[in-house]
Amino acid sequence: MGLTSLDKIIALQRSPTNIRNLCILAHVDHGKTTLADCLVASNGIISSRLAGKLRYLDSREDEQIRGITMKSSAISLHYRHGDQDYLLNLIDSPGHVDFSSEVSTAVRLCDGAIVVVDAVEGVCPQTQAVLRQAWLENIRPCLVINKIDRLIVELKLTSQEAYTHLQKILEQVNAVTGSLFTSKVLEERAEKEKGEEEEEKESETLNGDQVYDWSAGLEKTDDSHLYFSPDQGNVVFASAIDGWGFSIQQFAHIYSQRMGIKADVLLKTLWGDFYLNAKAKKIMKGAQAKGKKQLFVQLVLDNIWSLYDAVVTRRDKEKVEKVVTSLGLKVMARDSRHSDPKVLLSAICSQWLPISHAVLSMACEKLPSPLDMSAERVEKLMSVGARQFDTLPEQTQELKKAFLQCSSKENAPAIIFVSKMFNVETKALPQNRQRPLTQEEIAQRRELARQRHADRLTADQKAAESHEDLNQSGSAPQEAQPAGHSTAKMEIRTLKDSKPEEEEEHKETFIAFARVYSGVVKRGQRVFVLGPKYDPAQGLSMLPEGPSASQCVPEVPHLSCCSLESLYLLMGRELEDLEEVPAGNVLGIGGLEEYILKSATLSTSPACPPFTPLNFEATPIVRVAIEPKHPSEMPKLVRGMRLLNQADPCAEVLIQETGEHVLVTAGEVHLQRCLDDLRERFAKIEISASKPIIPFRETVVRPPKVDMVNEDLGKQQKVAIIHQVKEEASQGRSSDTLHVDPSGLVTLTTPNRLATVSVRAIPLPKEATDLLESSTELIRTLEQLNMSLREGKSLDVSLRTLEAIAGLKAQLECLLPGRKWRNAVEQIWSFGPRRYGPNILLNNVEGYQRPSLWQCLATVHKAGESGAQTTAIRDFDNSIVSGFQLATLSGPMCEEPLMGVCFSVERWDIQSSALSQHQDSLEEDSISNETSVDSNMERSTKISPQMEGMAAGLSQAKRRPEAASTDCYGPVSGQLIAAMKEACRHAFLVQPQRLMAAMYTCEIMATAEVLGRVYGVIGKREGRVLHEEMKEGTEMFIIKAILPVAESFGFADEIRKRTSGLASPQLVFSHWEVISSDPYWVPTTEEEYLHFGEKADSANQALKYMNAVRRRKGLYVEEKIVEHAEKQRTLSKNK
């Protein structure tokens, strides 16, 4: 097929039935970009000889160098299938785990996906991840089993062995799909059962016997359309590098003509346990049992194997000529004479079984068009957060029809989703691209050049004449003339210098990667930009009737207006200008960088809800602090980081409390790419990045039962520890206000002696901590509900949210069993840090009944308690919570957040004078706010409440003389926050403390000969192998291990070096794990002294990590530089 014109593509965009939006998904190095090259070559955009070598859609330099795709890029292809013309919007996505966020952005815009699997490696970790992403977005996948040539050339399998191997790969892929489907059916079943439970209870009372249905509804549901099977036409067997690929339909069509068997019969029997009975000329079942060759082996694989044998292995020219003539192909003489047999092979295969034909025809037949979008997917996209589709306003629900119709009529509302922003150089935009000159323009330029030449000649003549005159007349004017010349030259220079600066400022332009779901998008059109928190019900109530984006109302929250400056057709490395784009197409939109950060929903209707956020598989965990080499270039760095944040869907940019500019990325390769982008594209300055900032968490554990040499611990040591803590506390400045109980209860009094707090730290069970960490969004919602209830607002909450909150509460009750945790869930005061973290504050104060954290679940709310005392405590209540939040945000070990700690407040006394003082401080605030007179007046207003506070304190002066001078410590609430924070820290220090490290799961595929080296590298880096298994039919082992993030830097490189590139790991953040060693451990028992020595200077991993973090944060690190200097070894013994 020749090169398709732009007009043809624009015409094809108007018929949504013939549009296919598809992406290519796979594990890294399974051949996505090579396959994309073959498809692009079919449109004449690149030469078919370069397909697989050029990697056309990898447009970045670092992608070409590393040989992996790092960003998803789109291209529009034209394909004629039968008598129909199709437009395929193809998106190539990365396979490396660090860039899985790019896969999410691609999947959202598509209706179908081509999943590529390597025939040798089979299903890999990232294959499972992309299948899951496709499933979550409700898009239909097709399968391409690629690199079949490796089975012939590398593994040297026979055609029969290859068939068995391909069957296993299909089973593996279908197993992943099946598990996703099963989980969905079981979820639906569970929801149905909830409704049916009440009816069942009634029926149970009538008849005693109860029959339980164990089927869980899986048998009834039809899942045949989900699985990949060659006879369904959704599997293609291919070798993209050699340019061939086929589906069973092609061979069924070929053999139906040759053998006279119906194509439908062949379709059903070509894949499966069928064989050809030559005598009876019938296709019969049971090939394996009778030891016969399956039809697929006999009719398909044997032909391909014999072709490879003739061309690549034996290089049999005569046989090759026979094959070429029998297939009716034309092979060029230079191909047949070429020294590399692969050239001849691809020349034969690309004519006989062109891969582009097999894959594109499968896409046209099996993948859905934009019109076939399921109602389920539309509802999923439109119900953002915890809101159900049914609870959305009526006008919003009507938009579902527009989605399903995919209408391009004038009155249809335009709905666009932007999945990411990507940057291109300004000179690459169509309006700035150099275009070929017309004949008239060439003639004009020729004339201009002639004129310029003539002017230069006359100027030179005049200059020569004036020079002669000046020589005759004298020297005074001679001095004046060059000065004039020099000023003119200076002006030209300054003009030239200023131009590049302007160009440099505007070198990068952002384009939105988007899809039109409904309506027609035109250049210059005004649309609403809907933020992720935009509520259509609120927007409709605040906006006038029938609003348009041209008269945007500014006061609606999370809603803004913008105009679509330019629309582009995405053609891989190039862009083409478009005037308008109808529904169902993928496009690029220019001029949105001011309005959209990473992704957004655009619409002409304010009733449209924002789409659900993208599902990101990888969480950013690797942090580095960045600073410019030259401090004066700081503004450039800040601007560059802002642009990087916008251009990368996964990277996060933040400024820490320390003032450091921090970049958070998904992994090492991602980090390297972000730093290169900052240096070369966005900031264009030299930058220096710190060593990765590794996150840790601090926690407490139950007191150990055995010591470091596995001897039982007596009670003496525990007593010794508590005495030690007491001694440490008594050495501090607040010894008179702090008391530590032998049971671990810490009692702290505020410096003004008006409030006392007793806190105990208890370790949470691991399961409860995991639950809290995974439910952060839900806890955040719960906190918002409680806040609005405290303010007296009524919130419209969906039933699903309330069910989820009730479920969380029930799970917590299950995970906190026993006498120790009795009523603990009801007494939860707050979560922390930041009010949604994995730590709990419990209210065990006698006689203080505060509203429950789960009050939104209660149908009947208690009447508000009255009385000044309760309201005052209610005010200080917040101080206790704030102290707890501060304590959990930075722990005492190395100022890292706490995790899995429960602080139980068991006593909280507050003197009555503190309440009056609090009232005074409030009055003081109001007075100082109201009056803005001269400084003398201000002074007097500030003194008077102090005097009142003194008077209030004098009533207790007999008992506590210090109470009179309370004000020097500030208001009571501030002291209470500080006291609560300190009490929590001391309570934490009394318990046995541990560090928690972030852990990666690491999957490595390696052959048997390098297995030992892989284990060596994992062991050296504090990792541990969970399990290893041999992949059936191959020599490959799959090793699953866990590795601390702190030890992971340079891990991939080291594995590659040690195994000569035969093993490469995939690292994905998994969980937090307690480091078993105690960072403060010193030998105490006799056995430990014998085993570890007095100093115990064997490396303590936890202490090493803790000191590294403390050193980075500028905290005190207890270490001796030189010990026993006079005893150091000298070289005298060598004499």
Between residues 732 and 713, the one the model is more confident about? 713
Distances from the Cα of 37 to the Cα of 20, 32, 241, angstroms: 18, 9, 9
| Radius of gyration of the chain measured on its C-alpha atoms | 37
pLDDT of residue 851: 77
The count of other CB atoms within 10 Å of the CB of residue 384 is 19
Q: Directed axis angle between helix 972-990 and helix 912-930, to 10°? A: 130
The answer to whether residue 445 scores a pLDDT higher than 60 is yes
* Beta carbons within 8 Å of 155's beta carbon, 6+ residues apart: 120, 1034
Q: Give residue 550's pLDDT band: very low, low, confident or very high (50, 70, 90).
A: low
| CB-based contact 808:772 (threshold 8 Å) | no
Q: Give residue 493's pLDDT band: very low, low, confident or very high (50, 70, 90).
A: very low
Q: Give residue 263's pLDDT band: very low, low, confident or very high (50, 70, 90).
A: confident
The answer to whether residue 80 scores a pLDDT higher than 80 is yes
In tens, the pLDDT along 94-122 reads 989 889 899 999 999 999 999 999 998 88
- Alpha-carbon distance of 536 to 396, in angstroms, equals 7
In tens, the pLDDT along 281-334 reads 788 888 888 888 899 999 999 999 999 999 998 888 888 999 899 888 888 888
- The residue with tokens 């017309």 is 438
- Alpha-carbon distance of 667 to 623, in angstroms, equals 9
pTM: 0.80
pLDDT of residue 892: 92
Pairing of strands 586-590, 566-571: antiparallel
- The residue with tokens 């040539």 is 149
- Alpha-carbon distance of 15 to 86, in angstroms, equals 9
- The residue with tokens 């009142």 is 948
User: Which has the minimum average pLDDT: 102-116, 234-248, 525-539?
Assistant: 525-539
Q: Directed axis angle between helix 394-405 and helix 375-382, to 10°? A: 140
pLDDT of residue 206: 45
The count of other CB atoms within 10 Å of the CB of residue 424 is 19
Between residues 24 and 427, the one the model is more confident about? 24
Q: Give residue 478's pLDDT band: very low, low, confident or very high (50, 70, 90).
A: very low
| CB-based contact 835:785 (threshold 8 Å) | no
3-state secondary structure of 410: coil
The answer to whether residue 279 scores a pLDDT higher than 70 is yes
The answer to whether residue 162 scores a pLDDT higher than 70 is yes
The answer to whether residue 61 scores a pLDDT higher than 70 is yes
CA dihedral 365, 366, 369, 375 (to 10 degrees): 150
Query: What is the arithmetic mean of pLDDT over 724-736?
Result: 47
Phi, psi of 103 (to 5 degrees): -65, -40
Which amino acid, 240?
Answer: A
Beta bridge partners of 999: 1044, 1071
Q: Give residue 917's pLDDT band: very low, low, confident or very high (50, 70, 90).
A: low
Whether the ω angle into residue 833 lies within 30 degrees of 0, i.e. cis, is: yes
Q: Give residue 824's pLDDT band: very low, low, confident or very high (50, 70, 90).
A: confident
Q: 213 is written with which tokens?
A: 């249905």
pLDDT of residue 760: 92
The answer to whether residue 1135 scores a pLDDT higher than 50 is no
Q: Name the average pLDDT for the chain.
A: 81
Query: What is the arithmetic mean of pLDDT over 579-608?
Result: 91
| CB-based contact 1082:1067 (threshold 8 Å) | no
- Alpha-carbon distance of 628 to 679, in angstroms, equals 10
Q: 585 is written with which tokens?
A: 């197409």
The answer to whether residue 575 scores a pLDDT higher than 60 is yes
Helix intervals (H) in 91-234:
100-108, 125-136, 149-153, 159-206
The answer to whether residue 495 scores a pLDDT higher than 60 is no
Q: Give residue 794's pLDDT band: very low, low, confident or very high (50, 70, 90).
A: low
CA dihedral 122, 126, 129, 131 (to 10 degrees): -40
The answer to whether residue 689 scores a pLDDT higher than 90 is yes
Q: Most confidently modeled of 190-194, 239-243, 537-541, 804-808?
A: 239-243
Q: 1058 is written with which tokens?
A: 């040690």
Phi, psi of 668 (to 5 degrees): -65, -45
The answer to whether residue 918 scores a pLDDT higher than 70 is no
The answer to whether residue 1060 scores a pLDDT higher than 80 is yes
The answer to whether residue 1093 scores a pLDDT higher than 50 is yes
pLDDT of residue 482: 43
pLDDT of residue 234: 92
Phi, psi of 779 (to 5 degrees): -65, -35
pLDDT of residue 795: 66
- Alpha-carbon distance of 52 to 239, in angstroms, equals 11
C-alpha dihedral sign at 597, 598, 602, 608: negative
Q: Give residue 440's pLDDT band: very low, low, confident or very high (50, 70, 90).
A: confident
pLDDT of residue 109: 93
The count of other CB atoms within 10 Å of the CB of residue 1100 is 17
The answer to whether residue 1134 scores a pLDDT higher than 90 is no
Query: What is the arithmetic mean of pLDDT over 89-93?
Result: 94
Query: What is the arithmetic mean of pLDDT over 561-580?
Result: 91
Nearest to 21 by CA among 95, 110, 152: 110
The answer to whether residue 576 scores a pLDDT higher than 70 is yes
Q: 634 is written with which tokens?
A: 């700081």
| CB-based contact 555:542 (threshold 8 Å) | yes
User: Which has the minimum average pLDDT: 69-83, 204-218, 314-328?
Assistant: 204-218
Query: What is the arithmetic mean of pLDDT over 396-408?
Result: 85
pLDDT of residue 643: 92
- Alpha-carbon distance of 753 to 442, in angstroms, equals 92
- The residue with tokens 């001694």 is 727
- Alpha-carbon distance of 495 to 478, in angstroms, equals 27
pLDDT of residue 965: 36
Pairing of strands 622-628, 566-571: unpaired
Angle at 471 between CA 465 and CA 472, to 5 degrees: 95
User: Which has the minimum average pLDDT: 469-483, 574-588, 980-994?
Assistant: 469-483
Distances from the Cα of 835 to the Cα of 154, 832, 840, 853, angstroms: 57, 4, 9, 12
pLDDT of residue 874: 53
User: Which has the minimum average pLDDT: 27-31, 144-148, 335-339?
Assistant: 335-339
